[in-house]
Structures are given as structure tokens and as C-alpha cells.
Amino acid sequence: MLSGVRVLDLATLAAAPLAATYLGEFGAEVIKVEQPGVGDPIRTWGAQRDGVGLMWKSVSRNKRSITLDMRGAEGQDLLRRLVAEADVVVSNTRPQTLRKWGLDYESLRAVNDRVIMLHITGFGLTGPKSERPGFGTLGEAMSGFAHITGAADGPPTLPPFMLADGVASLNAAYAVLMALYHRDVHGGPGQLIDINLVDPLARLLEQTLLGYDQLGIVAQRAGNRWDISAPRNTYRTADGKWLAMSGSSPALALRVFRAIGRADLVTDAEFSDPQRRLARAREVDDVVADWVSKQTLAQAMSAFEAHEVAAAPVYDIEDLLRDEQLRHREVFVPVADAELGTMTVQAPVPRFSESHGRVEHLGPRLGEHNAEVYGELLGLSADEVADLRHRGVL
């Protein structure tokens, strides 16, 4: 689908490289540019096997790795030559650093006026915090997410995965596609895309903004409850497992009551009327929790499925890999790898009727593709590449 689009991934760690990964899954040629000797820090981040970073292997799927020292003049010149052959440049270096190196958008646009530059930073390219370093944890805190997540009497809660980076990366990937469409279909110019780690996640917390703006409500932590629907929680079963439930529509909530043998609540206005039911959310939860606690997970799910209740078991990773629906859709795929043998990773998510995402290979060794990339794009000979490597430019 994106065959013919060339992406230079200059970024490190999570959000910006992930955006490049999504493009690579659907045919874009992605060239990962890394610092000689050390590479992207995500190579050594998280779980390792035999000294090989597992996250690196997945995030850098389908990418070719080259090395280049962008801190020196010779490396900067080589990068500009690469940009002249690229459609998209992905970066997350602080703005002042790129300006100092002569690799900011205006400088790169002078080399290639069709280039689209995706620049992901902690706080954005403008404003009083624009030069501060930022990580996903800060985005999760400042977006308002952590404030409303967790038990009512507990601390603000951070997710144990890359939530802010992931949400930013998804925004970034579709932004690049819009910029390519604008350029290639409407004849527009290349442009700069400015995305940070706070705005995309804050965009999803719509209810907190609307409630505050119109009603002066400052949302507080409420565990797994949500003040727009009831029942809505996680419930523990008699065999020590958990299930989650959503009663987000009036019809769903009434099905729950029938499923647990409380048809009397269906005709009780205090529980059947959506707004009055919300005022008694704790009572609703207690009724559901009491019933669930006397059932095994299998028994509870059987009753809920029979009444078409929106409920699901809370999976751990083993459950997730065993689920028949996910196995049918091949959500997780094994991929052969020269360093690890075989590794199971998430498959590309969007499904198209006529085109397919792919995982051709996992993250490469550092600088594995120096000779072919510099030879193909810049016409450098093997001796020139070897000399640049010897002098620390590559």
C-alpha cells in the first residue's frame, strides 16, 4: 500500500519509531538511522535474551539499520544527502539540538521541498516547555490520565506499558498519511508535523473536559467505575478469576439484571432509568458483584453470553494467546530471526480486504545495512563506507 514511500527514522525510544514501524508494516521502506556504537537506546531497554533487546526486535521490524554520527559536520552532510532521497523524516530530537546541527525542518526543506517531517517531542515544538525533555510517563501524568486512574483512596496510577507513546504514535502515523495524501494527490508541499506526548492522550479524555467546562466537575478516581454508566466494573468470581462488564447502553444494563436473576430491577424505575441508575451505581455494583462472586468464571460468562451482556474475562498474557478469536485472526505471529530463532510478535492491526500488512523481519543488528543503503542511495563504494566507519562517521 505504501510501496515507493521512503522513511528515514532518526528517532529513538518509543513514540516516533513506532510511527515509522506502522508505515513499514504496510510497505514503506524504513531506514533506521542510529548513533554508531550504541544505537537506539531501545536496543537495551526492557527484557533481554542473550543480550538482545526483545522490544527492539519488535519495534524495529521491517527496518534497515544504518549508523551515522549526526553530531559532526560530515555526518550532517551525509544525512542531508539521504533526506534528498526521502519522502518522510521522523525525529524526536529536541528542537534546539536539530537547529544547532542544521537538521531542523527548515534546513531539510531547503534540501528537499517535498519532504514531510514528523517531529515528536515531549511538549511540542512551540511554547514555554518546548525545549524540555519529555517521556511517556510525563504525558500520562500531565494529560489528566493518571489523575482519574486508580482506586478512589489510592494514588494516581500510571500504566505499566507505553500508553502515551503508543497513542502519540498512532496519531503520528495517520498524520503522515494525511500529509502524503495532501502532497501526492492535491499537489501540496511537504510539511512539518508537530506531535507531542501530552496532547494525543488528553484528546481521549473528553468526558473530563466536557464535565468541567459545562458543569464545573473535576473528575476524581473511582477505580473501575465510570460515572456515565452502571454497571461498569471488574468483578471477582468464585474461582478467583475476574471479569469485566460494561452497561453503557440502557438495554445492556437491563440484560444484566435478567442474567443475574433480578428481573424485578427491570421494572423498578430507580434501576431501569439510566440517570436514576447512575445515582445508585454503588448499589448496582454490589448486586452484580454479589451474584458474580457465587459463580465460577465459566458459569458467569455462560449466563452473560446467553443474555447478550457485554462482559469479558480479564485475560493475562497466557489467556490472550489461547483465545480462539485472536488465534483465528492471527493477532500474534511467529517470525524467524537470525539472533533469536523464532519470536512471536503482534501482527499489524488494520485489516484490509485487498492489501495486507506484513512482518518480513525483526529488528536488525546495528549498522547491518550500511553498505547497501549508502551504496544504493548515495552511490558510495565499499571502500568509502569502510573509511567512514573507520573514522567514526558511520
Angstrom distance (rounded) from CA 107 to CA 111? 7
Q: Can you list the alpha helix ranges (DSSP code H) found in 263-316?
A: 269-272, 274-279, 281-292, 297-306
Angle at alpha carbon of residue 249, lines to 246 and 254, rounded to 5°: 85
Length of the chain: 394
Tally: H helices and E strands in the chain:
18, 13
Q: Are 195 and 118 in contact (CB under 8 A)?
A: yes
Exactly one of 69, 165, 199, 285 is catalytic; name it: 165
Query: For the chain, percent helix, then strand, then coil, each to nearest 5?
Result: 45, 15, 40
Active site residue 264: no
- What are the cell numbers at 63? 527496518
* Coil vs helix vs strand at 57: helix
Reported in sequence order, the residue ranges of the chain that DSSP labels E, i.e. its strands, are 6-9, 29-34, 48-49, 52-53, 63-67, 88-91, 116-121, 192-196, 232-236, 242-246, 311-313, 332-337, 341-346
- Tell me which residues are annotated as active site: 165
